[in-house]
């Protein structure tokens, strides 16, 4: 089963091209790392797959359905999470919200079966003890894991993660990467993960896609992460260094957003 199929996919905003003529396929159960510099179209592609953005031409299907008919199969974790931290929600409430929104009704009291499911989702991400703590008071790595637990509430078959490791220190990155690995191995969820720094994710990525307003390369990490390809996007200083059976990719790329730099 193909989790995602794109053929000659071109995505625009008010007629202005953001990503042009992209074709690829992703088998169910695989993890795809989506790499590219600022403005490359990574978020745009994820949002189009998730049916948040609909201005495109060409073919795009998710589990053989139009993206907007596959929404209940998709979990989406946005780039800078859109939770209003002024509202003092507990971690458990944030997770439980993932089970409520998908059902399309508004609640003032969270049903017990959803609370129970939220508790086991928190346990799955290694945060069994923090349910009653305020979300806004958690560390960056804990927050990211809470958001993963929230995305798991709808039992997605495809999880779209926009820069889940951005702004995390190395130990928090390792915690989040471990959870992603468990989601892949124990739940068999297909994942697309965007990132500026591919190195911490290489262990869990089956495939790498490099884009820069168009498709530059798609394939296994050792096919895509070669000097020639990396330099064509990131310039002559970029390179790939093999080290102890692994590859390490230096792009000189930083995670920069208009709201201020990170890392």
Ligand X SMILES: Nc1ncnc2c1ncn2[C@@H]1O[C@H](COP(=O)(O)OP(=O)(O)OP(=O)(O)O)[C@@H](O)[C@H]1O
Q: Which residues bind ligand X (CB under 6 A)?
A: 13, 18, 36, 38-44, 257
Rounded-to-integer distance, Cα 159 and Cα 157, Å: 7
DSSP string, 115-149: HHHHHHHHHHTT-TT-TTSBGGGS-HHHHHHHHHH
Backbone angles phi, psi at 241, to 5 degrees: -120, 115
Least distance from ligand X to the Cβ atom of residue 18, Å: 4
Rounded-to-integer distance, Cα 93 and Cα 87, Å: 11
Quick one: what does residue 75 bind among ligand X, Mg ion, none, with the CB cut-off 5 to 8 Å set by partner type? none
Per-residue interface string for the shown chain with Mg ion, residues 24-43, x marking contact by CB under 5 A: ------------------xx
Q: How far, CA to CA in Å, does 211 sit from each of 45, 102, 217, 236?
A: 10, 31, 7, 17
Other C-beta atoms closer than 10 Å to the C-beta of 202 total: 18
Compare residues 79 and 90 and give the one whose CB is closer to ligand X. Answer: 79
Compare residues 35 and 153 and give the one whose CB is closer to Mg ion. Answer: 35
Least distance from ligand X to the Cβ atom of residue 44, Å: 3
Other C-beta atoms closer than 10 Å to the C-beta of 22 total: 23
* Alpha-carbon Rg for the chain in angstroms: 18
SS3 81: coil
Quick one: what does residue 185 bind among ligand X, Mg ion, none, with the CB cut-off 5 to 8 Å set by partner type? none
Quick one: what does residue 39 bind among Mg ion, ligand X, none, with the CB cut-off 5 to 8 Å set by partner type? ligand X
Compare residues 36 and 99 and give the one whose CB is closer to Mg ion. Answer: 36
Compare residues 19 and 189 and give the one whose CB is closer to ligand X. Answer: 19
Least distance from Mg ion to the Cβ atom of residue 215, Å: 17
Least distance from Mg ion to the Cβ atom of residue 232, Å: 21
Least distance from ligand X to the Cβ atom of residue 42, Å: 3
Query: Residues binding Mg ion: what is the number (CB under 5 A)?
Result: 2
Interacting residues toward Mg ion by CB under 5 A? 42-43
């Amino acid at each position: 089963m193909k989790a995602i199929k794109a053929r000659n996919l071109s995505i625009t905003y008010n007629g202005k091209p953001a990503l042009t003529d992209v074709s690829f396929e992703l088998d169910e159960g695989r993890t795809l790392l989506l790499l590219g510099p600022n403005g490359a179209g990574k978020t745009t592609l994820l949002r189009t797959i998730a049916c948040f953005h609909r201005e495109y031409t060409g073919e795009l299907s998710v589990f053989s359905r139009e993206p907007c008919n596959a929404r209940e199969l998709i979990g989406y974790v946005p780039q800078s999470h859109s939770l209003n931290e002024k509202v003092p929600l507990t971690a458990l409430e944030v997770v439980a919200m993932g089970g409520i929104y998908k059902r399309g009704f508004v609640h003032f009291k969270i049903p017990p079966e959803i609370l129970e499911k939220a508790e086991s989702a928190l346990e799955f991400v290694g945060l069994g003890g923090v349910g009653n703590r305020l979300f806004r008071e958690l560390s960056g790595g804990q927050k990211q894991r809470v958001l993963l637990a929230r995305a798991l509430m709808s039992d997605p078959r495809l999880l779209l993660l926009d820069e889940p490791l951005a702004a995390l220190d190395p130990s928090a990155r390792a915690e989040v990467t471990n959870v992603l690995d468990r989601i892949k191995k124990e739940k068999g969820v297909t994942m697309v993960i965007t990132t500026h720094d591919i190195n911490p994710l290489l262990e869990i990525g089956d495939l790498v896609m490099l884009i820069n307003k168009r498709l530059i390369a798609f394939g296994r990490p050792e096919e895509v992460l070669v000097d020639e390809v990396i330099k064509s996007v990131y310039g002559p200083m970029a390179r790939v260094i093999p080290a102890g059976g692994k590859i390490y990719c230096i792009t000189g790329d930083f995670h920069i957003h208009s709201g201020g730099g990170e890392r």
